[in-house]
């Protein structure tokens, strides 16, 4: 669990491997039922830059990127193919943090808070 002192709540952290397993299970269930829609969840995620070398330039830590999606695996593939958000182009990324929300509004609010939480992003970047 991750405790966010500034916002005064306890946040359960989904392990990336458990998250991927649950998404595969949802996809296979939908294929058996003949539906193509995913579960009605919105995810907020944090990506970390791959291939970062600390000695080059001024940066001491790899970049992080915060975003949202209804299908995180597909979104990560989009980022890594160079077709994602402008700030992610030209780099390879790995998924380091995921949260699941029932409503789009909750996810947008959490994304806003994560983008401003430099301490958490520094920890996730390895610092």
pLDDT digits (tens, 9 = 90+) for 29-42: 556 655 445 558 99
Tokens of 35: 């539906």
- The total number of structural domains that make up the chain: 1
Asked whether residue 122 is assigned to any structural domain, the reply reads yes
pLDDT digits (tens, 9 = 90+) for 50-97: 988 777 777 888 889 999 999 999 999 999 998 888 888 888 999 999
In a domain, 1, yes or no: no
**Alpha-carbon span 96 to 46, nearest angstrom:** 6
The model's pTM: 0.68
Range of the domain at 106: 14-25+43-50+62-127
Residue 30 lies in a domain: no
Tell me, rounded to whole angstroms, the distance of Cα 13 from its chain centroid.
11
Return phi, psi of residue 3, to 5°: -100, 125
Residue 123 lies in a domain: yes
CATH of the domain at 122: 3.40.1440
The confidence band for 17, taking pLDDT boundaries of 50, 70 and 90, is low
The answer as to whether 8 is a domain residue is no
In a domain, 34, yes or no: no
């Amino acid at each position: 669990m991750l405790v966010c002192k500034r916002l005064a709540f306890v946040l359960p952290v989904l392990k990336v491997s458990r998250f991927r397993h649950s998404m595969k299970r949802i996809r296979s269930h939908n294929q058996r039922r003949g539906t193509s829609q995913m579960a009605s969840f919105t995810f907020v995620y944090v990506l970390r830059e791959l291939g970062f070398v600390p000695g080059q330039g001024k940066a001491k830590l790899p970049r992080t990127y915060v975003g949202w999606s209804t299908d995180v695996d597909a979104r990560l593939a989009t980022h890594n193919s160079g077709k994602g958000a402008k700030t992610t182009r030209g780099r390879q990324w790995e998924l380091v943090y995921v949260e699941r929300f029932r409503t789009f509004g909750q996810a947008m609010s959490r994304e806003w808070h994560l983008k401003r939480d430099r301490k958490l992003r520094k920890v996730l970047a390895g610092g």
